[in-house]
Structure 1
Amino acid sequence: MLKISNTVTLADWEIELTAIRATGNGGQNVNKVSSAIHLRFDVPHSTLPAVYKERLLALSDSRISKEGVIIIKAQTFRTQEKNREDALNRLLEIIQGAMVVQKKRRETKPTRSSQVKRVDNKKKQGEKKSLRGKISI
């Protein structure tokens, strides 16, 4: 059981964990032992509240397929247990991250003094450049 918040949990049957062989370096251990974990979580057919489903499906994350299945491959660690924990933690981060509400940006105006400083600086630059011209005798 994966606890997402105080009121929302995921049952074990909703998360499909499969042990697979990891890729990359590691020699005989990688070739013999299925230590990597392939996690699949079907968002539309889960028991998550509708708000969670909407936000997850609205994410533009490459780990979420067009059908709404979150696919995570964990192969960082040498043991299957640690990779299983890693995959579940990453799933938890995705779900909790989807529920974070972005703060609305309030537009601000530049202060009067900053506007005056900007104009003064522009005038100084203009005077400096006008002095670079040819001198008429």
Structure 2
Amino acid sequence: MSGDEEEPAPSSRIPVIGRLYITRDDLNEEFIRASGPGGQNVNKVSTAVQLRFNLWANQTLPQDVKSRAAKIAGSRLTQYGEIILQADRHRTRERNRDDALARLIDLLKRATEKPKPRKATKPTLGSKRRRLDAKKQRGQVKKLRGRSSGFED
């Protein structure tokens, strides 16, 4: 952050992991009608929540975390850089809101984990031998499919 930007109030901070956090300003909630449990209530009350997190506009997460989060989000990431999560497992708004936020935090936590670099390895001697043996055996099978040597009844 540069010196002229204000720190968000601690109450608007949502901790992700360690010192990383997101702010409530980055979130946008919309309540919609849910399918699933709820009986007649499901037709009358909008209990499902659609949580939108603007990933690209966020100022508190490092760029490498944002790019990994975009990869993890997959089809839940819009072309405008918003992660959309829909929660309708529960019958109440509050539980669905908490569920959506918990899923977003989990996604961001997974994005903070740096992938292990792949170390190039050579195939073992045993694996080379097994491969060659399998090739020879396959060649034998194909050879036996050929025409016979002329001794027919």
Instruction: State the TM-score, normalizing by the size of structure 1.
Output: 0.76
Aligned to 2:93: 80
Instruction: Kindly indicate whether residue 115 of structure 2 is the aligned counterpart of residue 102 of structure 1.
Output: yes
Which is worse superposed, 46-55 or 28-37?
A: 46-55
Change (3 A) 1:117 1:84: closer
Deviation at 1:64, TM superposition (A): 1.1
Deviation at 1:87, TM superposition (A): 0.2
Matches of 1:13 and 1:121, distance apart in 2:
61
Aligned to 1:32: 44
Change (3 A) 1:76 1:110: same
Q: Which deviations, in whole Å up to 9, do the C-alpha atoms of 1:106-130 show, x marking residues without a partner?
A: 2322222443354455556666776
Deviation at 1:21, TM superposition (A): 1.7
| Residue ranges of structure 2 left out of the alignment (5+ in a row) | 1-12
Computed over aligned residues only, the root mean square deviation of the Cα atoms, in angstroms, reads 3.0
3-state SS of paired residue (1:47): coil
Matches of 2:70 and 2:131, distance apart in 1:
46
% identical equivalent positions: 38
Change (3 A) 1:55 1:124: closer
Change (3 A) 1:81 1:38: same
Q: Which deviations, in whole Å up to 9, do the C-alpha atoms of 1:78-122 show, x marking residues without a partner?
A: 121211111001111222222222222223222224433544555
Matches of 2:71 and 2:86, distance apart in 1:
21
Aligned to 1:2: 14
Aligned to 1:21: 33
Change (3 A) 1:129 1:64: closer
Of 81, 90, 93, 2:103 maps to: 90
Read off the aligned partner of 1:53 and give its amino acid letter. Answer: K
Of 84, 90, 103, 1:71 maps to: 84
Matches of 2:127 and 2:135, distance apart in 1:
12
Which is worse superposed, 55-64 or 40-49?
A: 55-64
Aligned to 1:111: 124
Deviation at 1:54, TM superposition (A): 3.8
| Residue ranges of structure 1 left out of the alignment (5+ in a row) | none
Matches of 1:33 and 1:45, distance apart in 2:
32
Deviation at 1:70, TM superposition (A): 1.3
Instruction: State the TM-score, normalizing by the size of structure 2.
Output: 0.69
